[in-house]
Amino acid sequence: MKKLFVLGLGICVAFAFTSCKSSESAYKKAYEKAKQQETTQPATTQPTEAVTPVVAAPVQTNNPSPASAPAQGARQERVSVVSGSGLQDYSVVCGSFGVKTNADNLKKFLDGEGYNSIVVFNADNNMYRVIVSSFTDYAAAQQARDAFKAKYPNRSDFQGAWLLYRLN
């Protein structure tokens, strides 16, 4: 009787382990599916109601010149240089880390690739940013970001490169 009980229990356990469909969790599958949809579909905007345009007189402001004003496509942050030199207004950021050692390792790799990379620290977010190149104007920074992404098409971490506008 005891042998039959153990044999039955063993068969139940074996059946339970072999009946699992996958070792991946449902959450991971859902996350990957959402990520795939995000990359394949363009960003959608919410529908807006038709609005009749209002014509107004031009407003004179005392804003800085357009060349020194930050472009809307760049993230604005207050940063301080940790290592490297040559930080200008617009920068191409290819990595963000919470640990300085990780940022230094990426800087070392980029320096070996021929870049004059810079590590900066954002105290508000407690993040180290690795900058590939830095420019005084937005258009040049955009071109450099696109060229950097094109140079490393197989590096998914570099495909997320973005522009930073340094606040003083």
Please tell me the distance from the alpha carbon of residue 91 to that of residue 65, in angstroms, as a whole number.
19
pLDDT at 27: 72
What beta strand segments (E) does the chain contain?
Answer: 75-78, 80-83, 90-97, 118-122, 127-135, 162-167
Asked whether 115 and 147 are in contact (CB, 8 A), the reply is: no
pLDDT at 31: 76
pLDDT at 45: 54
pLDDT at 61: 47
* 138 token code pair: 């937005």
Mean pLDDT per block of 10 residues along the chain (168 residues) reads: 82 69 66 75 58 57 49 85 92 94 94 94 93 94 94 91 91
Name all contacts of 45-51 with Cβ < 8 Å and 24+ positions apart.
Answer: none
Q: Which residues contact 129 (CB under 8 A, 6 or more apart)?
A: 77, 79, 91, 93, 95, 96, 103, 119, 120, 121, 122, 164
pLDDT at 51: 60
pLDDT at 65: 44
pLDDT at 42: 58
DSSP state of 70: P
Predicted TM-score (pTM) of this structure: 0.58
pLDDT at 146: 94
Go through the domains of the chain in sequence order and give each one's CATH number: 84-167 (3.30.70.1070)
Asked whether 85 and 149 are in contact (CB, 8 A), the reply is: no
Asked whether 120 and 80 are in contact (CB, 8 A), the reply is: yes
* 161 token code pair: 């490169």
pLDDT at 77: 92
* 92 token code pair: 């191409």
